[in-house]
Chain A
């Protein structure tokens, strides 16, 4: 089995008096796609926000054995974390190209950045077509492609994807998941947060089910896909 890339232990986080994460533990191994699934308000996005350092949390967050839980958010990208945030979070009044350049903010190797830019454009040709357009004028699907590409521009070890299917047409969703699979085949490790459990479980090696701040189930993607409880609660079958 491959090495553990991300290890989260007894992670707790609160919004005021609301205990959003009640001590969850999970890990992501090198080369895996792992998803966190669960209903609205289960704590999925909170988990990613804690990993990225956007909210305060208790517990252990370690990347390749190094505890990153106490370093400021803007330094975690240097450790190899990169996120496509919930709601995509593109910079609306900046062009597609500028958004991508922001993704490479921490880098200074011009040639490498240029190569990665070309890679993003070949992954999502639509972005190339819209290079000079303001990101706020893109469609939802294009914005999602941009958010993922922007996250890739830092050459992360671990790509965090928060609800990439949110508000998108099924065709676009399928396309985006194809890309995620492709990226993973090329070696990218992915932690995926999804409400669309069916899609997520299909592409994931392993998955965890979150329910009101705790992990209630975990297992291989395909096993959970056929799990009676998961089918009833999350797949509506």
Chain B
């Protein structure tokens, strides 16, 4: 029982990280109907931005709330700027091009960031600074609630609540939803679609920035290819929940994290990654629109 609760906590905290990254995929898809494959590498750059900022500010060995907040802000800003730049330089010129061209461009941007990352940051892994002191809040037999898991859950929850507020209770959020539901009508009503697309990249990328600091805290080894696997899993999570659906991305992320943790705990860690792609295959077979996704009905 204690074991199970422990795995539940671990799974939820891993899952909320997947969810944060999945949100970026799903938001961009909702607006542009494209998969932004470079998203996972934006996340990687976020981790390195936090790493270098911690070094530069000399807070790498000063775990605490201040450091956490500082690194979160640095990483979010870095990711937002990078996302904005990618959208402006790589995707916007192709706005009217066939979807396949944009998809291929996204893969190109992803590879560019991965290899530029190896060139700039070096290919060898680096140790992420200690963000929060390692305290065990609660011990019950084998069950221990540690500060890192706790922080991950709280920060992820706050980020998601913030996103919900932005999307549902602000003018810009309403415009984002309007563009994703009918972009030509939104434009007719005075919404500048380019501005909304840019805003979507800013928000999605900064959530990846949050994710990168949380991951760095939980698994403090960062390297330029770190985005690949977690990006794929977050993408699967977004598809699982229904790509384009924001609650879907959160649900998909949590389910992915939980099932991964459970597979590792009760079956074998060998199957950890096989599970993610197994889930993708099953979803594509049984429910191609995802758990909370809707089929797009083409109307004439």
Give residues in A with beta carbon < 8 Å to B. 52, 54, 72-78, 82-83, 85, 87, 89, 91-94, 98, 101-103, 105-106, 150, 154
Contacts and interface: CB of A to CB of B under 8 A. Distances in A.
Given A54-B188, A83-B188, A93-B181, A98 B193 contact: no
Contacts of A76: 188
Contact of B177 (A77, A91, A106, A154): A91
A94 B174 contact: yes
A39 to B, nearest CB: 16
Contacts of A78: 190
Given A54-B184, A92-B181, A93-B181, A154 B174 contact: no
Nearest to A54: B184
B238 interface: no
B191 interface: yes
Given A74-B193, A91-B182, A105-B171, A85 B188 contact: yes
Interface in B182-230: 182, 184-193
A178 B28 CA distance: 43
Contact of B174 (A52, A87, A89, A102): A102
Q: Is the interface on chain B under 10, 10 to 19, 20 to 34, or 35 or more residues?
A: 10 to 19
A65 to B, nearest CB: 22
Contacts of A83: 188
A83 B189 CA distance: 8
Chain B interface helix/strand/loop/mixed: helix
Which residue, B178, B182, B187, B190, has most C-beta atoms of chain A within 10 A? Answer: B190
Contact of A85 (B174, B185, B190, B192): B185
Contact of B187 (A54, A82, A91): A54
B187 A102 contact: no
A77 B189 contact: yes
A102 B188 contact: no
A218 to B, nearest CB: 26
B188 A93 contact: no
Nearest to A55: B184
Nearest to A85: B185
**What are the 5 tightest A-B residue pairs by CB atom distance, in nearest-first order?**
A106-B190, A89-B185, A77-B190, A91-B181, A73-B187
Contacts of A73: 184, 187-188
Contacts of A94: 174, 177-178, 181
